[in-house]
Structure 1
C-alpha cells in the first residue's frame, strides 16, 4: 500500500534501510537517474547512488537521519535530459511499531523553477527597493484604514522620523489637523470606488513645520477585487502654495485696493475685451463688471472731445498698438449708454508678462466733472470782477496784449478807453459801500449798452473802467466815448428818495502798431483820463502825442516809478525845520520832519517835485509808513538825548488818514519802539480831514489815546474850516501859507489870520503860521498873537540829526527867548 502511494507522488521518492540499501524507488526517481528499471535501483547502496562528492558533502545528513532525526540539504545535480536542476532533499526517518529505526525516506523536490522565480522576485524586489529608496518623491503604502505598511526614506526624512518607526502608525498622525477630515473623506471615497485621486494637504514636517504635499493616491485591489491597500506618491508643493497664497493675497489686496480707490479702473485682455470693472467704474459707466465681461470696450467706455464732441481715439487700441502708457491729447468727455456725461481724465497702460509680452490693458480714469466746473468757475473768477461780472484788470491787460499784437501784425486800428467815474465817492461816503456797490452794478448795465458784444468792458478797480474797441477807428471810438458821457450825464441814481448824478471822465487812446507795449498804452489812457478830469470832468480827452497835459502826466508816471525804486532802495533822507515859539519863551525844540528823495547820484530832491505823483499813484501812504517807522526808530534810539525836544511833527497824507490799516500800523509801531510819545505830533491837512471825516476822527482818537498830539495843517484853505473845529479835537492850527505870505500887504489876509487866531483861542488851540519868509512878517504875526512861526524866515530845513544836536547846546543853559530857538543857525 505504501509503495503504491509513493509511486503516485509527483516528486522523486525512495526508501533506504539502515544499511543504506535502496528498498524502493518510485518512477519519478528512476527518471532522475536516466530511466533505470526498478531492479537497477533496488539493493543499490546510497553512497554509490550519490557519488563520492555528494556523499562526502551530505554524509552528516545521513548520519542524522540514522540517529532518528530528519535532515535536509539543497544542491544541484545533472538532469538526464541535460543541464542541471536545483533540488531540495529531505531525509525522513521511518520506525517500526516497536520504535526501532526501520530505514528512512529520501524525498527530492525539483526547485529549479521556484528558485528562478524567487531569484527574479528577489532581484525585482531589490531593484524596487533601490528605486523606492532613491526617490525624492514621497512614497508610502497604507492599509485602507490608514495604517502605514511602508514609507520611503524621502517621506521619513520629510517628517523627521525613522522609516521603521513610522510603519504601523496611522498616516493621519502626520497630517495637519485642519486637513485630516478632508483627507479621510477623500481616501474613504477612493476605497469605495477604486482608481486614483489627487489631493493636497499639509503634513507635520520635521521641526513641527507645516509643509504642503500634493498626493497621487491609488487604491490597490486583491484577487477578489477588494481594496486591500493604498499606494500614495507625493511631492512637496509648499513653495508653490506659498507663492500661490502670496499671489492670491496680492490679487486680493489689488482687488480690494482697486475696489476702494476713488479712481475708476477697467482691465481688458490683449484684444481689448473687458475683463473687469472696479465699483467706481461700474458706477460711472452704469454697467456691472459681470455684464461687461468679454464685451468690446466701447460698449461701456466711449470718449468724445469735450469741446467739439468728436470721438476721441480708442485709448486701449492705441495702448496695445504702441505698447506704452497713453492718454487723451484733449479734454475728454465720457458718454455712457444711459446718456450721462462725465468729464474724465484717463490713461491706459499695458499689462505685461515678465518677458514683456502684452497681456492686456489697465484703463484708469477719474470723474473730474466737478473739478472742471470749479476750474472754470475759478478761471472765470480769476478773469472777472465779482461785483459787476465784468472782465477784471488782469484779463483786460491780457486781451489788450492780444489786440496790440493784432495791430502790429495786420496794421489794424483799435481803441482803448480809460473811464473814471465822477462823484462816485460822494455816493459811497454818503450812503455806504453797499449802496455804492449797487450803483456800480447799475452803471455797468449803462456801459454795456454803449459798446458792442465783441468789445471788452472791464472794471479795472474801484470806480475805474476800461474798454477795448476792436477794429474801431479813432472817429468811431470818439463817438462811442461821447455816447458814454452823454448817457452817464443823463443817468440818475436814486436811493431812499435822494437822486445822485454820476458823470464820467474818459481818456481815449488809439491802439495801433506804434505802441511798444501795453504798459505805455495804459499810461497814455490814464493820463488822458486825468486830463479830462482836470479839464472839468464829464468829458472825453483823446490822446495826442504832442499834448502837453499828457506829457506832464507822463512825467508824473515816471516819478511814480522813481518813488517806488527809492522806497525799495531806502533812498529817502529825513530833514527837519524848526517851528519857532514867538509869543513866549521856548523851553524846548519844536520841529517838523521833512523828507528828501536822494537820487542815485546823491542829488536831493524836495518833496514838492515828487509828492503830487505819489498822491496821484497812491504811493503817499507807502511813503508815510517809511517816514513813521524811521522817525520812531530814531526817537527810540535817542530818547534819552531828546529831553530838550518838545515836539516832533510828522505830516501825513490824506491816503494814510483814510486807511484804517495805517491807523493800526502806527499804534503797533508805538508799542514796538519805546520813546516818549508825548513829543509826537501828527499833521493832517484840512482837506484830508474834510474828505474823510469819519476816518480822520478815528485816527485822531487813536493817536491821542496813545499820548500824541494833532495839528490841522493848511487851515483856512477849505470852505468849512470853522465848522470842523467843533468835531475835530486838535492841538494846533497851522494857518495856510496863502494868508501868511502877504499879511503885510493884504488887509484881507491880515484879517483872516487874526480871525483864525481868535477862533483857535476860543477852542483852546495853539496857532502856527506857515510860510514866514522874513522878520517883518514874523513881527506882524507876533503882534497878532500867533503862537508859533514856521518858514524860511525862521529856519531853513536841514538834516534831522544836526538840527537836534545844535539845539541841544542852546537849550542846555537856559530857556531860549521867543523867536531865537533856531534862528542862530537857520540852515541852508
Structure 2
C-alpha cells in the first residue's frame, strides 16, 4: 500500500484531504506541525525514518521560518528522491519559487481540491516509474568491429565501466541489432567490410529513430580526411586503437557523464511537464513577439481549445486578448499584455478578459514574468492566469448589494451621496446645471399603522417603480431611508426645473394603492435644490433640499418648494444653534449613557431550543449579557432623550465630536469602576478623535487613570472610517491596545475591499452591518453575504457580532456556527446602569 505523509496545521484542511486519500486506498500518516516533519527528516543518532512514497505539505503561508526550513530540507540531496506535492492558496505564495528546480515536485492549489486526487495518483505513478527506471538503469553500448580480438578487449573494458555491451561484426550486423533494441551509445570501427563506420553513423543520423544516442569512431589511422568524414557524419569524436586504454576509458567516461546529464535533463523536463499538466491555473509561454510557444492543459481548458496545435505558433494577443469584455477591439499600443511581451516587462495580478475558442469572454487574472531580466536577450515570457469569472460575478453582486436598497432596488443613500458629490464637481467644470429632488411620502405612517409593515413595504416598492418611470436617461434615483427618496436630475435648464419636479409629484399623486381591499391615498412632498457652480458642499445641498421638502409638507403636502438661498441662510442659523446647545450639554452634563445588552450566541440558541412556542419570542431575563454597547443620548427641553442621529452629524460639522467621544469614554470608565460591572463595553468613536494627537494623549491619560477597567473597553470604528484613515489610525490603535483597550469594526461588510485587510490592523472583532440582517429571513443573497463575512472573520480568528436583530425570523436564520455575539431590540433595549 502506498505510504503518504501529510503535513497541514489546519484541522479542517487536514481532515478533508486525509479522508479523500484514505477513500482512494492510500495509507496516510497525518502531522499537524511542521516541526514534527523536520524531526522525521533530521537524522537521530545517524538514522532517519524510512521516507514515505509521497510527501504532501500544506504550504505555510504566513510562517516564513517554516518556509525556509522546508526549502532547506526538501532540497537536501538525500531527500530529493521523495516525491512532494505542495498544496498552496496561490501559485505566487512567498518563497514557493525556491522549490521550482526540485525534481518530482507538484504544486496543487487548494481551490482545486476536488481535482487533486487524480493528480496525486499521477504523481505517485510517475514517481514509481522514475524510481524503478533509475534503480535498474544501465547504459547500453553497441561495439561494432570486424576484429574479434578488438571486440573482446574493448568489450571487456566497457563492461568493467558498468556498461551493458552488445557486440556486432559489421555495419549490417549493427543495423540489425539497432532495429531490435535501444542503445545509449555506439562505438564503431571505421574500416570494416561493406559500409565503413562513417557510413553507419550517417545512416543512423538520417533515420531519425535514435535521438540522444552518442556515436564515436574507433580507428587506427590519424588521417585528417577520415576524421573530418566521421565528425561530419555525426560522430561525437574519434578514438584511436593505438592510444592507451586509460585515454580510451577517459573518453568513454566523458560520454557516460553526458548520458547521465541527458537523463537528468529528461527527468527535469518530465517533472516540468508534470507540474504544468497538474497545476490548477493556466500557463502559457510566448516569445518576445507574443507568439505562443507552449500552453498547459488547464490553459487549454479555460480557453476551450482541444489541442495545443490550435494555438502554438500564433500570436496570443490576436487569438484571445484582442478585445475588451464588450467586444471592442484593443489596439496594440494599449494592449498591455502585448506590450509586456515586447518590452520583457512583468505584470502582477493583472485583471483582463480572454476570449475563448467559441468567442466567449472570460474574466482572468494574469501574472506575467519575463524569462530573463536582460531585455536584450529576448527569451520571451511566461504567463500564469486563472479564471475569475465566478469571483467577478460575486464581486459585482456584492457591490450591487452594497450600493442599492434591498427593498426598492434603487440606489442607497451612501452610494447616492457619492455620485452626488461627483455631480457637484462635474457642474463646476462644465458650467451646466443639475438639480436635487428630495421626496417624502405624505401618508406613509398612516398606511403602516393601519395595514402593517408589509403594506408599507409594498407601497415603497410601488413608489420606487413610479419614480423610476419618470427618470430620463442619465438621471438617478435613491431611497434615502424610510419613506424618503431622492432624484438627481442631470443637466437641466433652469426654466424646466419646476416642470420636471412636477412630473414626479404628479406620478405620485396619480398612484392608486390598495392593500387587502383597502384603498389608500398616495402623494409626496418634494423639496428642490439647484446644483450650480456655487454649490460645493454636499451636506449643504442635502440640507437645502431636505428643508425645502419640510416646507412643502407644512404648506399642505403634495406640494413642491424650490429652495431659495435666503431660506438656507436662516436654516444655517438654526443649525448653528445646535453648536451652542451641544457645548452647553457638555458643560452641564446634559448627555446620558444607555447600555444595550449583547449576548453570547450559544446562550441565545440554547434558549431558543428550549422555547415551547417556536413562533413567539420568549424573554431571556435569566440570561446574563456578555457585553454591552454604550449609546449616547441628549436630554431635550421637555426631558425626552434624543438619539445620537439627531445631533452627531452637527457635532462633526462643528468639530465637537472629539469632545463628545472623550466625555463618553470618561463616563463609561467611571461607570465601570463604580458599578463593578466587569463586562466589556463597546463605545462608538469617530476616527477624527483618533487622528488628532492632542485627543489621543487625553485618551491615553484616561486609560492609564482607569487602568483597572481599561481592558473592558472595546472601541468601535466605522468601516468607512478605517478605509479612509487606515494608515493614520494603525499606529494610534497599536498604542491604545498596549494600554489595554481593544478595537472592533462597526457596520462591517459595506465595502468588499476591507475583507483582505483585517489582519493588517489590531482588530479583535467585527459587527456586521444591520442591512445584511434586516432581510436575512427571506433574502438568500443577504444570507450568502453574511456567511462569507462570518467565514472571513473565523479564518482571521476575529470575533463576530451580528446586530440589529429585530425579529424572531431573523434570529433563526443567523448561522449558528460562526457567530459569537448577537445584539438587537428583540433581545434587549438600551437601559441605564446604576453606578
TM range (shorter): 0.3 to 0.5
Q: In terms of Rg, which structure is larger?
A: 1
Structure having the larger proportion of residues in strand: 1
Structure 2 length as normaliser, TM-score? 0.43
